[in-house]
Amino acid sequence: MRPRLSVANAALLTALAAMVAACQTPAPTSPNRAALPTMERVALGANACWFKSGDPAFAAYKLAPELNSFSGRPRILLVHKGSPESRPLLVVQAEGSPSRLQAFGPMMQEPVAGRITADVNRWSGGNKACS
């Protein structure tokens, strides 16, 4: 003979199960660390924080993303606004999984270099905040 589950006991069991489920927090998800998703985050951050915001430190430049790279190194370039065909002043690229980031070019010898490094590191980790 099986014991019967009364309506009151069933309701209590359902409520208990709901409480246990509510107490369980999902594991935090970290962003994809491969090169392309990392550079997509960096490109979105640079576009929003450096260019769309009207930041004077980047007013003379234009963003040139090259994310579809057959070399396995997606990158973004900063070029002079008036001559986009000229040599890039900043190259930020990633390679591998987890990605290894590099930033180089003449802008990395200027006072804005520390800010570039901090912004790129923040955006690559998934934080969308501007500096």
Residues 109-129 pLDDT 10s? 999 999 999 999 999 999 999
Where is average pLDDT lowest: 6-10, 53-57, 78-82? 6-10
Say yes or no to pLDDT of 68 above 60.
yes
Structure confidence at residue 3 (pLDDT): 55
The backbone torsions φ and ψ at residue 33, rounded to the nearest 5 degrees and listed phi first, read: -95, 5
Say yes or no to pLDDT of 5 above 60.
no
Say yes or no to pLDDT of 69 above 80.
no
121 contacts: CB under 8 Å, gap ≥ 6: 101
Spatial strand order in the sheet of 61-66: 61-66, 75-80, 90-95, 100-104
Residue range 57-75: mean pLDDT, rounded:
93
Give DSSP secondary structure letters for 34-76: SHHHHHHHHHHHHIIIIIIT--GGGTTEEEEEE-S-TTS--EE
Percent of the chain with pLDDT over 70: 79
CA distance 14 to 52: 51
CA 57 to chain centre: 21
The single-letter code of the amino acid at 97 is S
Say yes or no to pLDDT of 107 above 90.
yes
Mean pLDDT of the chain, nearest integer: 87
Residue 87 vs residues 76, 101, 124: alpha-carbon distances, Å: 13, 20, 24
